[in-house]
């Protein structure tokens, strides 16, 4: 297949592109500036996912559309908002598929996206999902938990604290649970879905093998770095809810109020996606050890 992908140069996009190329697909990536293609099966087209015309032109001649674009925090002064990057971008990619007669469409969403979601991030992701489900296309939506792998942000940030400070700040008591999934497992699900008609019209929640509290997750990262224990500085939730709104507008501050809300809600699922895709996901400890020790995946 020839595939048109937005977000293909990002963290998950890099893993997905490797998986798709290994399966013989030809890729066309929407990028902010033109860059030479390294191989004949990948093409870069300049454009922006918030520009409907560049999406339409980029999708021309393709067999399927994949939208991976997403942001974890907003910077309204720069025009970077959930509404623009999740909802508006999705509308443009759907229109590009329809205008080019492309029936197959895959969408990256997020675990926790649902009607009446508390966080703005999840509300915008669900609003984008509603556009997809109403599009008339043969869609598949994926809602992954926190994604780890080479090039990630979350695990790499925590590993940085451990390496440089030998401690990790914790919001509240740290007992809220997460079920991270490897980027290469997410990529595999996307790639498999293209050849599985039974996945059309469905939404899959993706989570990894291990359900960990935040404290357990930090310890697993510490062990991967050769630390027998990691000092954890617990910050009272009441204090974080007071301070974060004052500082979240600055890029140096690592948290937003939205992210605190999502942490406390937890990010876990029942793993039933494995029944459809037929493989067991990577374990968290083994997965992070591979790349935190410098071993490329």
Q: Which CATH number fits domain 2-152+179-208+269-282: 3.40.50.2000, 3.30.450.90, 3.40.50.1820, 3.40.50.720?
A: 3.40.50.720
| Residue extents of the structural domains in the chain | 2-152+179-208+269-282
Ordered mean pLDDT values, 10 residues apiece, the chain (297 residues): 96 96 96 68 91 96 97 88 96 98 98 95 98 98 97 94 93 96 98 96 98 97 93 94 90 90 94 97 96 68
The helix/strand/coil state of 69 is: coil
pLDDT for the residue numbered 210? 97
Asked whether 209 and 280 are in contact (CB, 8 A), the reply is yes
Residue partners of 248: CB distance under 8 A and separation at least 6: 73, 255, 256, 257
Rounded Cα gap, residues 211 and 175, in angstroms = 11
Gap between the Cα atoms of 131 and 42, Å rounded? 28
CA angle 190/187/56 to nearest 5° reads 55
Q: What is Dmax (Cα atoms) for the chain?
A: 56
Position 11 scores a pLDDT of 95
pLDDT of residue 111: 97
Pairing mode, strands 177-178 and 212-213: antiparallel
């Amino acid at each position: 297949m020839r595939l048109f992908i937005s977000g293909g140069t990002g963290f998950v996009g890099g893993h997905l592109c490797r998986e798709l190329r290994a399966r013989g697909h030809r890729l066309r990536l929407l990028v902010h500036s033109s860059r030479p293609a390294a191989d004949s099966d990948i093409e870069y087209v300049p454009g922006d996912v918030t520009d409907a015309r560049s999406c339409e032109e980029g999708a021309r001649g393709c067999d399927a559309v994949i939208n991976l674009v997403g942001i974890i925090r907003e910077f309204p002064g720069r025009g970077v908002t959930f509404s623009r990057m999740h909802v508006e971008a999705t509308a443009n990619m759907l229109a590009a598929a329809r205008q080019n007669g492309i029936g197959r469409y895959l969408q990256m969403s997020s675990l926790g996206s649902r009607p009446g979601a508390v966080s703005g991030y999840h509300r915008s992701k669900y609003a984008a999902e509603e556009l997809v489900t109403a599009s008339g296309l043969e869609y598949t939506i994926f809602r992954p938990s926190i994604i780890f792998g080479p090039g990630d942000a979350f695990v790499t940030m925590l590993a940085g604290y451990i390496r440089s400070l030998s401690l990790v700040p914790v919001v509240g008591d740290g007992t809220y649970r997460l079920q991270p999934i490897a980027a290469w497992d997410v990529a595999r699900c996307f790639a498999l879905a293209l050849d599985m008609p039974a996945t059309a019209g469905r939404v899959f929640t993706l989570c990894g093998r291990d359900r960990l509290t935040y404290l357990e997750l930090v310890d697993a990262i510490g062990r991967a770095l050769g630390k027998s224990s990691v000092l954890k500085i617990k910050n009272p939730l009441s204090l974080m809810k007071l301070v974060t709104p004052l500082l979240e507008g600055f890029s140096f501050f690592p948290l937003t109020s939205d992210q605190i809300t999502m942490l406390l809600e937890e990010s876990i699922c029942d793993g039933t996606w494995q029944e459809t895709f037929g493989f067991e996901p990577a374990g968290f400890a083994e997965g992070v050890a591979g790349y935190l020790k410098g071993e490329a995946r």
